[in-house]
Amino acid sequence: MLRLRFLSPFKSPRWTISLRIVLTALFYLFAFDAKAQVAKLPHVGVLTTISTDRPQLKGLRDGLKAAGYVIGTSLYLDMIQRKTLTELEPVARGFVKDRFDVLVVTSGSEAEIAQQTTREIPIVFMPADDPVRRGLVKSYARPGTNLTGLSALRDIQDSGKVLELFKALEPKLDSVILLSDGRGSAQFFAERASSIRRVAARLNIRYSEKFTRTSEQVFEIVSELRREPNQGVLLNCTALFSDLKRIAPRAKERGIALQGCSAAHVIDDSALFTYAPDIYQIGLRGAWYVDRILKGAKPQDLPVESPRKFEFVINLRTANAIGLKIPPEVLQQADRVIQ
Contact 282, 276 (CB under 8 A): no
Comparing 160-164, 190-194, 267-271, 299-303, the range with the smallest average pLDDT is 190-194
What is the assigned CATH class of domain 40-153+279-301?
alpha beta
Across the strands, what pairs with 76? 43
Contact 62, 86 (CB under 8 A): no
Torsion sign (Cα): 329, 232, 249, 156: positive
Look at the pTM and tell me if it is higher than 0.85. Answer: no
For 50-92, the pLDDT digits (tens) are 889 889 999 999 999 999 999 999 999 999 999 888 999 999 9
For 253-274, the pLDDT digits (tens) are 999 999 999 999 999 999 999 9
pLDDT at 216: 92
CATH of segment(s) 157-277+310-338: 3.40.50.2300
pLDDT at 213 over 50: yes
**Which residues are CB-contacts of 86 (< 8 A; sequence separation ≥ 6)?**
none
For 215-238, the pLDDT digits (tens) are 899 999 999 998 888 999 999 988
pLDDT at 32 over 50: no
For 82-118, the pLDDT digits (tens) are 988 899 999 999 999 999 999 999 999 899 999 999 9
pLDDT at 275 over 70: yes
In our burial notation (b when 16+ CB lie closer than 10 A, e otherwise), range 120-156 reads: ebbbbbbbbbbbeebebbeeeeebebbbbbbbbbeee
| Intrachain domains 40-153+279-301 and 157-277+310-338 with the same fold | yes
**DSSP class of residue 84?**
S
Instruction: Give the pLDDT band (50/70/90) at residue 41.
Output: very high
Q: Looking at residues 187-205, what average pLDDT do you find?
A: 87
Nearest in space to 164 (alpha carbons), one of 126, 196, 129, 139? 196
Q: How far, in Å, CA of 103 to CA of 125, rounded?
A: 9
Domain boundaries, the chain: 40-153+279-301, 157-277+310-338
